[in-house]
Amino acid sequence: MEKKKKTEQKSVKEVKAKNIGIVGVVAPENKCDDINCPFHGKLTVRGKILEVKIVSNKMDKSAVVVWDRLVKVPKYERYMKKRSKLSVHVPPCIDVEVGDRVKIMECRPISKTKKFVIIQKM
């Protein structure tokens, strides 16, 4: 009887970026091992998509973003500018700096204040 030869060990599986299901969003070229990365980790995204500006990135894996919106004031029949701020998660595979415009998307709560994640640098 002939013994079956053991097949060669499979090489270490390369981490490929998964498709997050959003049209027009391509996976970053850099790779990371962050579990809270929508492309290389297990974080799923859903809900709102916003285009915002980064105003601070001094925290580790976090950033503060801001966007302007118009709110109608019925009494004066005019619009008033309002500004909103959010804390977002920054995956290590996406390099961002203060002043960059980014696209963020809603996800499950990562911490007390972080409920959005950056998915693309504009």
Mean pLDDT of all residues in 93-110 = 96
Count of structural domains within the chain: 1
Structural domain boundaries, residue 105? 45-121
Answer whether 20's CB lies under 8 Å from 103's CB: no
Mean pLDDT of all residues in 100-113 = 96
Model pLDDT for residues 7-57, shown as the tens digit of each residue: 544 444 455 788 888 888 888 988 999 999 999 999 999 999 999 999 999
pLDDT at 63: 97
In sequence order, what are the residues at sequence separation of 6 or more whose Cβ sits closer than 8 angstroms to the Cβ of residue 62?
Answer: 87, 88, 89, 90, 114
- How many C-beta neighbours within 10 Å does residue 102 have? 20
CATH code, domain carrying 92:
2.40.50.1000
